[in-house]
């Protein structure tokens, strides 16, 4: 006997067979282009900031921390080594003498696989020759295609001299790369900001008075005009509170929020990082802590005309973020950040977001720093997202409502690019 649902299925292309549903969701998630909303990848024009190839991949800070757990070398000695020697050491300790079980190490294996390189090689000779032989612009196109990334957002720091130099040349930048305006230096260390700005001819005192506010606003306005960012961003420690009585609060209220408002820019907050927990590890030494979600809720409540994007480093905060986003429709949760970007946790967070928010969130950003990381970060994330999403549709089917192929495409497009593009004011699907 043909059920009512099967009859309807034939008419409107309903996915009523669980196995077919799963295959179709996997296909759509695998092939839908993504807007990568937060990366540290730069195009080749950014000299000194464009990272690519095997030595950059292996000296990624995630792998450095892991290597120093599996070798006897002292931290000080490690940092004395050249980049090539560090990469050799990482390869030997994590890929030859040990099995690459961690997520960051498996990522390298996925990249080797994508380029047909041998992940069991005893050394890096083959990989080095391969990456050396590439034409960089063709390689960039290929990596973006292999990752299914149609556009990506860089992290642009107006206080970084190298950036100031590139933007100053007026070079025509690759239109797949968007800018974001990262203000960690300003919000995190006023003393250092004053010094950097002094070297650029701006003299600010230790106090944030009207003069300083207007100088700073002018400085930010001119950078925004130059780099045309899609949003303003900052990473913040677990101790971040709003309201507060400190300099960060003053700068947020008097400089950052008014600037976002005036330029119609969203504000992306990444909360929960404890910088330099182990200074001997340098760039690999940051840790995390649980933050107070009320700071973000207060910001959203006080500024209903501003749009916030937010992610947290603590798993507990990610669940709280879903609840906050239900209360504030000017809040967009994004990504499974840094220490949360592991299959088990991506799956958990994506599930809780779907359960609490439907498709109104941005499931992942890559946070890639080295070009080829885009390949593994997106391949791995897509597997988790496809599984969670197909299980969600399967539950819906069990409850009595099947989805159509068009609905699956619509949902994935919304989560992979539509939500972000709408949030930052880009036209849909361009
Ligand atoms: O994920 C990372 O690679 C971190 O080092 C940070 O860059 C973090 O994502 C950040 O944007 O501060
Ligand atoms: Zn980042």
Residue 10: per-residue pLDDT? 53
C-alpha of residue 294 to centroid of ligand 1, in Å: 23
User: Whole-angstrom Cα distance, residue 329 to residue 306?
Assistant: 10
Q: Would you say the CB of residue 235 lies under 6 angstroms from ligand 1?
A: yes
Those residues whose beta carbon sits under 5 angstroms from the ion ligand 2 are: 367
Task: Looking at the CA of residue 62, tell me the nearest atom of ligand 1.
Answer: 3
C-alpha of residue 107 to centroid of ligand 1, in Å: 16
- pTM of this structure: 0.96
C-alpha of residue 38 to centroid of ligand 1, in Å: 9
Residue 40: per-residue pLDDT? 98
| 422 close to 428: Cβ distance less than 8 angstroms | yes
Residue with tokens 């192929």: 405
Backbone angles phi, psi at 59, to 5 degrees: -100, 20
Provide the residue-wise pLDDT of the chain in tens; the chain has 430 residues.
445 555 554 557 999 999 999 999 999 999 999 999 999 999 999 989 999 999 999 999 999 999 999 999 999 999 999 999 999 999 999 999 999 999 999 999 999 999 999 999 999 999 999 999 999 999 999 999 999 999 999 999 998 888 888 888 877 789 999 999 999 999 999 888 899 999 888 888 888 999 999 999 999 999 999 999 999 999 999 999 999 999 999 999 999 999 999 999 999 999 999 999 999 999 999 999 999 999 999 999 999 999 999 999 999 999 999 999 999 999 999 999 999 999 999 999 999 999 999 999 999 999 999 999 999 999 999 999 999 999 999 999 999 999 999 999 999 999 999 999 999 999 987 5
C-alpha of residue 61 to centroid of ligand 2, in Å: 12
| 236 close to 243: Cβ distance less than 8 angstroms | no
Residue 421: per-residue pLDDT? 98
C-alpha of residue 185 to centroid of ligand 2, in Å: 14
Task: Looking at the CA of residue 235, tell me the nearest atom of ligand 1.
Answer: 12
Q: Would you say the CB of residue 40 lies under 6 angstroms from ligand 1?
A: yes
Q: Would you say the CB of residue 367 lies under 6 angstroms from ligand 1?
A: yes
Nearest to 416 by CA among 347, 361, 375: 361
Residue 320: per-residue pLDDT? 99
């Amino acid at each position: 006997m043909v059920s009512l649902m099967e009859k309807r299925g034939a008419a409107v292309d309903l996915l009523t067979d669980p196995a077919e549903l799963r295959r179709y969701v996997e296909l759509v998630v695998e092939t839908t282009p993504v807007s990568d909303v937060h990366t540290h990848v730069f195009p080749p024009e950014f000299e000194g900031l464009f990272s690519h190839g095997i030595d950059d991949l292996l000296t990624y800070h995630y792998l450095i921390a892991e290597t120093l757990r599996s070798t006897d070398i002292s931290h000080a000695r490690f940092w004395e080594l050249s980049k090539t020697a560090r990469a050799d050491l990482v390869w030997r300790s994590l890929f030859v003498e040990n099995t690459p079980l961690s997520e960051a190490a498996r990522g390298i294996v996925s990249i080797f696989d994508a380029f047909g390189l041998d992940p069991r090689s005893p050394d890096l000779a083959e990989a080095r020759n391969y990456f050396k032989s590439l034409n960089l612009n063709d390689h960039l196109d290929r990596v973006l295609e292999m990752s299914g990334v149609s556009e990506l957002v860089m992290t642009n720091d107006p206080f970084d001299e190298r950036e100031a130099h590139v933007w100053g040349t007026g070079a025509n930048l690759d239109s797949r790369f968007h800018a974001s305006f990262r203000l960690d230096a300003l919000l995190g260390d006023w003393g250092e900001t004053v010094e950097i700005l002094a070297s650029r001819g701006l003299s600010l005192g230790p106090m944030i008075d009207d003069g300083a506010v207007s100088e700073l606003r002018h400085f930010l306005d001119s950078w925004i005009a130059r780099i045309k960012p899609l949003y303003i961003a900052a990473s913040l420690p677990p101790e971040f509170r709003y309201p507060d009585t400190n300099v960060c609060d003053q700068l947020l209220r008097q400089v950052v929020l008014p600037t976002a408002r005036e330029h119609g820019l969203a504000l992306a907050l990444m909360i929960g990082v404890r910088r330099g927990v182990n200074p001997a590890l340098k760039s690999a030494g940051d840790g995390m802590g649980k933050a107070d979600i009320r700071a973000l809720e207060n910001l959203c409540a006080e500024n209903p005309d501003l749009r916030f994007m937010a992610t947290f480093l603590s798993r507990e905060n990610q669940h709280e973020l879903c609840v906050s986003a239900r209360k504030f429709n000017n809040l967009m949760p994004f990504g499974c950040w840094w220490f949360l970007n592991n299959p088990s946790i991506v799956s958990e967070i994506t599930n809780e977001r779907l359960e609490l928010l439907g498709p109104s969130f941005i499931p992942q950003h890559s946070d890639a720093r080295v070009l080829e990381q885009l390949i593994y970060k997106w391949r791995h994330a897509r597997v988790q997202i496809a599984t969670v999403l197909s299980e969600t549709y399967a539950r819906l089917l069990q409850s009595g409502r099947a989805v159509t192929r068009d609905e699956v495409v619509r949902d994935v497009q919304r989560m992979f690019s539509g939500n972000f593009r709408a949030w930052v004011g880009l036209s849909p699907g361009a």
